[in-house]
Structure 1
């Protein structure tokens, strides 16, 4: 399957490859997935991102057929597969821990899914050789898997999932968890390259935002069994649709603090800040908050224009520093350059109005350009 530059979600006539329609999954009294609807298009690299217990692995297992929804339907290419067993869904699934045969060689492990489906040796050998080269396993093809490192075994597991070219989708359930940190970047790059070359539909579950934002064309952020946002990495970072997305994405996360908004001005305590957009009356919300990334705040000497804040601490984390500042009952994280020298206990805080998000009851409010 050849990869193209075409992005299917830009085509209004494109049909989803996988569809969830009002899917709910309960385990006794616990609702793991709550009335969820989602479209996944052919060729997408999709990430399911969220904290432990948010429902992302449950959703993946519903796609694979390992779990059946309590309510709702699942479609593959317009075909209702809700009750179909795993073996009839034509998917490959790669788990957190390697699923391989230790007594087989690397070649035999990689070839097994093809041999199990009656493929000819003339088809199997070049496919295995090509994939082994891409995964850096070509020197180990004749070695028994039992003698390899955990990293190499997980590469075999990845290869077994990628070896078939006709699968509907390849599902990844946190497959890099057991990989040494210094090798994770290498495998991320290899997976991205394989996706670009072969155009597989890939669905990747992770709680690691770096993995999700590195891999995915689009990221689904889940929280308490619901989808709180679907978007590109840039959209999640710059325009979080929910306060949870704001502070879950980023390190440190978005600063979120109470404010009030009057048309095109924001009031932060006694400070009035002009906004680039005009907002409707927000008095109907129980709470109104501003959200701004630490990268979009700057600090200046206290005599400069801005909001006077108290500096609580300064953490040096290498290429930059993070200043923790206080304004009344609100705290802000501010990213400052490594060479910044903070003197004294106070500073002037300057917020970039172009990067201020306004939230009503945790949901982002769209303004209108002034």
Structure 2
């Protein structure tokens, strides 16, 4: 296991990038603690796999350094970094038994037979592979083969880190949910350093202690699930995390008030001070879960029109029209129907403000 540091790291596939758009990874500094579980989360093409491959040594960064426990490993090949990597599709030996597949990395490193047996049995039990240990891998389902790949990544207790590149892509949806939970349990038991790449926010938020959110080659926030949900530092995080994502409304701030299509929202003193002199686009952000709805006008509410109301049993998912904008809300109950006039409350303590997509208040 290792503490992983990225110092002034950036990567461009062009030899001489002419600007920020040419960078697959924009400059970043980051540190991941020994024994932590981290997820790299973002849409396809945002740089997640490039960053993972730089950590593993499959790609050499064009700028900056990679350190394991303070040692510079930037120029070392993958085999010299003492890492394990699990890919999207199973990488196993079909002609070997499940036991031999799991034992292979340990035999290569000269482990004693008794120690190999004990470790393989431990990992197989964690992944519920014990009944298949004597079977050839070729006769197993794709799900089972990917579980073997996971086991091969987890079987060595001395690795600096285990890197997962969307390892549950080929897994059945129900088994995927079980394996996410199982990986979390394995992390707590084995205390390995795990880095997990995914575009699925549910996978990232249920697996990782810290989630690194990326877009267009840039790390826009690193934090816990609660931090990303309640305090997104960038409009992309607000939009990408949550279902539906955060409401993001362009606004004009003047005289201590945020103006949105004729609606006026008073600002607190601290928020108003943070927005004074702001240069660029100002955006109000609020989660659908935090919006309140009243049938009659109340102090602090704004008028809107219900456009869609769907009762999902556990909650009501509604959409409201405010001028040219649509606001989504998750409510415990709602008596209004599409077309009804309503009055929305945006609690000040749950309302965030962004300047050029970065949170300032």
TM range (shorter): over 0.9
Q: Which residue of 1 aligns with 2:169?
A: 177
Q: Residue 263 of structure 1 contacts residue 278 of structure 1 at CA under 8 Å; is this kept in 2?
A: no
Q: CA deviation at 1:358?
A: 0.8
User: Closer, same or farther in 2 for the Cα pair 1:144/1:355, shift >3 Å?
Assistant: same
How far does the alpha carbon of each residue in 1:182-225 deviate from its partner, in whole angstroms, 9 at most, with x for none?
Answer: 11111011100111011111111111111111111111111111
How far does the alpha carbon of each residue in 1:38-69 deviate from its partner, in whole angstroms, 9 at most, with x for none?
Answer: 11110110111111111010000000000001
Which consecutive unaligned segments of at least 5 residues does structure 2 have? none
Q: Residue 282 of structure 1 contacts residue 360 of structure 1 at CA under 8 Å; is this kept in 2?
A: no
How far does the alpha carbon of each residue in 1:329-348 deviate from its partner, in whole angstroms, 9 at most, with x for none?
Answer: 221001122x5332352211
Q: CA deviation at 1:302?
A: 4.1
Which consecutive unaligned segments of at least 5 residues does structure 1 have? 2-15
Backbone CA RMSD of aligned residues: 1.8
Q: Which residue of 1 aligns with 2:334?
A: 340
Summarize the alignment of residues 1-370 of structure 1 with structure 2, pairs less than 5 Å apart. 17-28=3-14, 30-261=22-253, 265-268=257-260, 269-275=262-268, 277-280=270-273, 281-304=275-298, 306-337=301-332, 340-343=334-337, 344-366=339-361
Q: Residue 91 of structure 2 contacts residue 149 of structure 2 at CA under 8 Å; is this kept in 1?
A: yes
- Cα distance in structure 1, aligned partners of 2:295 and 2:10: 54
Q: CA deviation at 1:285?
A: 1.9
- Cα distance in structure 2, aligned partners of 1:86 and 1:177: 24
Aligned pairs, number: 351
Q: CA deviation at 1:264?
A: 6.1
Q: Residue 276 of structure 1 contacts residue 354 of structure 1 at CA under 8 Å; is this kept in 2?
A: no
Q: Residue 302 of structure 1 contacts residue 308 of structure 1 at CA under 8 Å; is this kept in 2?
A: no
- Cα distance in structure 2, aligned partners of 1:84 and 1:231: 29
- Cα distance in structure 2, aligned partners of 1:276 and 1:209: 35
- Cα distance in structure 1, aligned partners of 2:259 and 2:92: 59
Q: CA deviation at 1:260?
A: 3.5
